[in-house]
Structure 1
């Protein structure tokens, strides 16, 4: 019987386009063997074997999951759940992931819980394929009907279902927690800080933990961001908040000190730089060291110059700064730069603008310039850029 059940459910999961009920009747009518003689007593339900044969778990996963399902004495409820998931379009691999992550998912009542939740999500405009993807990320949330109203709130907050999935990949518990006690007070605080809906959505997509963190801690992060000298009405405030989130005062102080030592800045210059580019606090020590050595030691920029233009430290050294410097240096050495251009301007413009201003005008006088520049952007910096 266990082998038959495994066969039936495997086919249900493999062909999601068919109705689970019609598929089940079809399989039973065409593949079931002749009725066996009556058995006097039903054998005990082997949960671990069921998880392996029917749900696709490994033996190790099944052993771990079975401890949470020891109360199940019959496959009827798990069979109903798996059949319903097959109807939504979940693959066998998706089902295995859901069950391995949350074994009690097999105990959900299809009629009382899962079907009403799916109906509510469909009412919000989600397709069955989108709901199937949602199950894969946030299966535990399907134990409660209230997840529908939570999803509606978050989908509005993040602007789209795809953005919501990005967040759930990092924090699947959003759909399980009480909105009034977690997310809503935090969102209200962020609005008080002057962040608009777009800024809040971007910040929370990057930092989903913010929505499940106690309000007192979020207030401390806001105070820390203001302590960097970034006012709430500044366009950089959301970046400052992201930079200091979950770091702690000691770690932030250590990062500020490292910036001073690495770039030769004064306290005032550190304050100026971090106020304009708070994301410097998230950069690794090694990255700051390499950028400092290149911009100050090789290019010859003054520390003060860099402090007032900290965006220079936010770009890739290998993919942007060094290749563009090589082009600038080549043009100057060969008299192709007719007036002294500012390095900052050359480093900051978009790739399209840079090529238009500094590469394309020299296609005849320096025919290999575009090729050498492309090689430099790939990390293959030529010993010299070729003039002819």
Structure 2
């Protein structure tokens, strides 16, 4: 306790983490607190190198993201992000600063989501880099069904100006239904039914666009 845990907790406090964040680390990634003080300091330095400064609200997530990987593995993960998501060095730095958890996502998962976001939704790599949390959402249960709704509403002149894809996928299910399904039940009586079907993996005929 005195030689390992207390010095590491002191380091975490110096990084701006409060008692709640430190408690979450103990539960979710105890190795950060129980590692040797030298290793704990190395994790802190690594989190800073990927672009997340001490005191940032994302610093705990950055520590969790780098804790399981060596320096070589992190470098390989960064190259994977650049190749899969077509990101520049600047894009990677922006994305990791906003959502360091992206380092922990598999290549296959990123590949499937990026192909959909690029080819179907038409998003640009830089757009995703500035909104990396979008990559953590389920492709089948959120990204695809809500894209179909957005496209349907646009095709039928029902989507107000200023609404973009990111604003539609990040809101909760309850808010999404309140904003984008219920207001259009008169103009599109089957939209709720079609959206529910899309969330199960089915693509209703009205959601098939040429």
Do Structure 1 and Structure 2 share a fold, with TM-score over 0.5?
yes
Instruction: Check conservation: 1:270, 1:307, Cα contact below 8 A.
Output: yes
Post-superposition shift, 1:270?
1.0
**Pick aligned residue for 1:355 from 159, 177, 187:** 177
- Cα distance in 1, alignment partners of residues 104 and 97 from structure 2: 14
Instruction: Check conservation: 1:225, 1:240, Cα contact below 8 A.
Output: yes
State yes or no: 1:332 paired with 2:154: yes
Post-superposition shift, 1:182?
2.7
Q: 1:253 maps to what in 2?
A: 75
Instruction: Check conservation: 1:369, 1:385, Cα contact below 8 A.
Output: no
- Cα distance in 2, alignment partners of residues 361 and 307 from structure 1: 32
Look up the SS of the partner of 1:384 in the other structure.
helix
Q: 1:199 maps to what in 2?
A: 21
State yes or no: 1:185 paired with 2:11: no
Instruction: Check conservation: 2:81, 2:87, Cα contact below 8 A.
Output: yes
Q: Per-residue CA shift, 1:320-371, capped at 9, x if unaligned?
A: 1111101001111122224252111111112111111100001122122112
Uncovered stretches (5+) of structure 1, i.e. residues with no partner: 1-178
State yes or no: 1:372 paired with 2:180: no
- Cα distance in 2, alignment partners of residues 211 and 234 from structure 1: 19
Q: Quick one: higher RCO (CA 8 Å, sep 6+), 1 or 2?
A: 2
Post-superposition shift, 1:243?
0.4
1:50-199 equivalences under 5 Å are 179-199=1-21
Q: 1:208 maps to what in 2?
A: 30
State yes or no: 1:272 paired with 2:98: no
1:215-254 equivalences under 5 Å are 215-254=37-76
**Pick aligned residue for 1:344 from 161, 166, 170:** 166
- Cα distance in 2, alignment partners of residues 255 and 271 from structure 1: 13
Instruction: Check conservation: 1:259, 1:270, Cα contact below 8 A.
Output: yes
Post-superposition shift, 1:383?
4.1
Larger Rg: 1
State yes or no: 1:285 paired with 2:104: no
Instruction: Check conservation: 2:33, 2:40, Cα contact below 8 A.
Output: no
Runs of 4+ in 1 over 6 A off after TM superposition: none
Look up the SS of the partner of 2:206 in the other structure.
coil
Post-superposition shift, 1:181?
2.6
TM-score scaled by length of structure 2: 0.94
TM-score scaled by length of structure 1: 0.52
Q: 2:141 maps to what in 1?
A: 319
- Cα distance in 2, alignment partners of residues 373 and 213 from structure 1: 47
| C-alpha RMSD of matched pairs (Å) | 1.5
